[in-house]
Amino acid sequence: MAMINISGKHLVEDANYRYQMPAVVCRTEGSGNGIKTSILNCKDIALHLQRPVFELCKFIEYNMHTHAKEECDRLVINGHFVSGQIQEVISGYIDKFVLCRICRLPEVVYRYKKKDLNTKCLSCGHRDIILDKLSKVIVRIHKDTKKDKPKKDKQKSKPKTVIKHVDTDDDVVWFTDLSDEAVAARAKENTCGI
């Protein structure tokens, strides 16, 4: 499988470039009105870009003005498209959502702030806001998945930690209570005796 540099629309001519992804492999299926193009290695591309497949799917859908859906290990797009066209759209996605605008490295992570999609570069520390139709979808999906997670019960008091000491000679078991009250009582005992 041919690997290309993750550099967006600005080419990096370095054979030893650290950030690489597989080139788009697509196949045309059907004919006439029902013609479809499938990207066979969409999951591999998303894995190398460190992004979920649905983001790549939505970006291709918005920019190619067609319907796209995920099926098994591939992405199916309605219409006939050449791999060069799809690679250009993915390069646009890389420029907007994967690369840092300052250092041009794919070290960007998302930070969700209310209705905005903020990014932070792990390489240079640059912070940015992405204003795009897809960014609103990403934030909405993040909020939906956050709501679906069950909330843990918050405990008001710390659980008591017990350390067990075993004396092997006498088979005596000693317990030390580490709760705040027990620690305060032991401290009071020690200071009163002095």
Helix axes of 53-64 and 42-49: crossing angle, nearest 10 degrees: 110
- Tell me the pLDDT tens digit for each residue of 22-81: 889 999 998 888 899 999 989 999 889 888 888 888 888 988 899 988 888 889 999 999
SS3 135: helix
State how far the alpha carbon of 178 is from the alpha carbons of 165, 167, 174, 186, 192, in Å.
13, 19, 13, 10, 20
Q: Where are the domains of the chain?
A: 3-104, 162-192
Write the class of the CATH domain 3-104: alpha beta
Q: How far apart are CA 121 and CA 109, in angstroms?
A: 6
* pTM beyond 0.75: no
Q: How far apart are CA 98 and CA 121, in angstroms?
A: 10
